[in-house]
Amino acid sequence: MKPDVKRILAKLTSQEVKLSKITNIEDFISNAEYGLETFEDLLSDYKVAYTKASDVIKFDVSDAVTQAEGDLDDLLIDIKELGIDIPPKVKEAQKRIASLESDMKDAERRLESF
């Protein structure tokens, strides 16, 4: 073969390698772009779930505990006025409310840690 043909063939082989490299680069870029899109979708889902979780603690749980505490306080006043011992069910309700308050604070701390 003539030197020019060898040089041309070498150049063509080199170009194929370069084309293969750019294809690999484009694949990596596409994978990174897809990863960022996935991240944005997941972050959006996270924000929605975080807000829902926060609202459940702030409103549903907190309101129910506050209402239970108020009713329990009223009941304890009535029991005291009657001069009777606190019934076991009432003592159990006191324990459960205290546990709920602790769990609620823990849930709030966990939310803040996100």
Give the closest residue to 69 by CA, choosing from 42, 32, 38, 100.
100
Per-residue pLDDT 10s for the chain (114 aa) are 556 766 766 666 655 556 678 889 999 999 999 999 999 999 999 999 999 999 999 999 999 999 999 999 999 999 999 999 999 999 999 999 999 999 999 999 999 998
Whether 114 and 54 have beta carbons less than 8 Å apart is answered as: no
Whether 96 and 71 have beta carbons less than 8 Å apart is answered as: no
Token pair listed for 35:
């990863």
- What type of residue sits at position 13? T
